[in-house]
């Protein structure tokens, strides 16, 4: 599991209002920060992490035998890099 190095605030629509949600930020093995907010969180280096910061298996090993559906695999988040601001 990667170390959690901070949190990022997001405004998420909730009916007619927005609510504040905090997302964890982890530090990838390559040194880039990764926002942990989706089922799959991909660093700019290509490593994939779960929402709790666990390193996922290489994508070549993903599929039915691991329980992912096609929808899970196709809804993968884009590369995320968090600024230090």
How much of the chain, in percent, has pLDDT values that exceed 90?
38
- The pTM (predicted TM-score) of the whole model is 0.67
Is pLDDT at 77 greater than 90 in this prediction? no
- Residue 11 has a pLDDT of 83
What's the CA dihedral at 63, 67, 78, 49 to 10 degrees?
A: -110
Query: H/E/C letters for each residue in 25-55?
Result: EEECCCCCEEEECCCCEECCCCCEECCCCCE
Most confident stretch, 6-10, 16-20, 38-42, 50-54: 50-54
pLDDT greater than 50 at residue 19: yes
């Amino acid at each position: 599991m990667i170390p959690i190095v901070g949190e990022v605030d997001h405004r998420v629509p909730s009916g007619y209002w927005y609510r504040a949600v905090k997302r964890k930020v982890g530090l990838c093995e390559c040194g880039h920060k990764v926002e942990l907010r989706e089922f799959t969180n991909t660093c700019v280096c290509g490593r994939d992490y779960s929402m709790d910061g666990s390193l996922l298996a290489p994508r070549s090993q993903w599929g039915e035998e691991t329980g992912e559906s096609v929808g899970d695999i196709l809804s993968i988040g884009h590369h995320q890099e968090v600024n230090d601001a």
